[in-house]
């Protein structure tokens, strides 16, 4: 029997939002400081698991209608194409490029292809973690 956990659900909404914002911050700063796609993906998965603890599997699945296996495939495709892109330019494997651009609001900003690789890792980590957790949760 499910009890009415109004306080837990309300606090979870706020905490999950803050955790996801922090995971995006760690993801974007990953090529300058510790962090990146792996840690950001784990933190996002933790936010989703927190939602699963406060609500049930069906409610979270209705809130986030994502097929995590497709997310894994997309992440692998993005990461593999970023790695293979170095071969197109006759550079060593895993060589990333960057350049500086003047963006209207941000000013002089560097853009890296490492962010694309981290995006693939981010999606793979979320997909694998949530597939494992949902598989365990459905078996009960």
Q: What are the φ/ψ torsions at residue 90 (nearest 5 degrees)?
A: 55, 45
Q: What angle do CA 96, 100, 103 make, to 5 degrees?
A: 125
pTM (2 decimals)?
0.86
- Is residue 113's pLDDT more than 50? yes
Exposure string of 48-70, with b = 16+ CB inside 10 Å and e = fewer, is: bbbbbebbeeeebeeeeeeebee
Instruction: Give 16-38 pLDDT, tens digit per residue.
Output: 999 999 999 898 887 777 778 89
pLDDT attached to residue 103: 79
pLDDT attached to residue 2: 61
What is the rounded distance in angstroms from the CA atom of residue 14 to the CA atom of residue 61? Answer: 19
Q: Residue 82: CA atoms inside 13 Å, Cβ hemisphere, count?
A: 21
Domain chopping of the chain, boundaries: 5-138
Cβ-based neighbours of 58, under 8 Å, separated by 6 or more:
none
Q: What does the pLDDT average to over 83-93? A: 84
Residue matched to tokens 């809130």: 63
pLDDT attached to residue 1: 42
Instruction: Give 50-61 pLDDT, tens digit per residue.
Output: 999 998 888 888
Measured on CA atoms in the order 20, 25, 27, 33, is the torsion positive or negative?
negative
- Is residue 89's pLDDT more than 90? no
Instruction: Name the average pLDDT for the chain.
Output: 88
- Is residue 94's pLDDT more than 70? yes
Question: Which of 7, 6, 2 minimizes the C-alpha distance to 57?
Answer: 2
């Amino acid at each position: 029997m499910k009890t009415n956990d109004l306080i837990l659900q309300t606090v979870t909404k706020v905490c999950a939002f803050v955790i996801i914002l922090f995971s995006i911050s760690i993801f974007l700063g990953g090529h300058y400081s510790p962090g990146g796609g792996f840690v950001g993906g784990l933190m996002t998965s933790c936010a989703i698991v927190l939602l699963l603890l406060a609500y049930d599997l069906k409610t979270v699945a209705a809130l986030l209608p994502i097929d995590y296996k497709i997310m894994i495939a997309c992440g692998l495709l993005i990461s593999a194409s970023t790695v293979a892109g170095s071969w197109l330019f006759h550079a060593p494997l895993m060589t990333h490029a960057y350049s500086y651009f003047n963006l209207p609001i941000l000013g002089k900003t560097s853009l890296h292809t490492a962010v694309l690789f981290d995006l693939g890792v981010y999606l793979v980590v979320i997909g694998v973690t949530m597939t494992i957790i949902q598989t365990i949760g459905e078996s009960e």
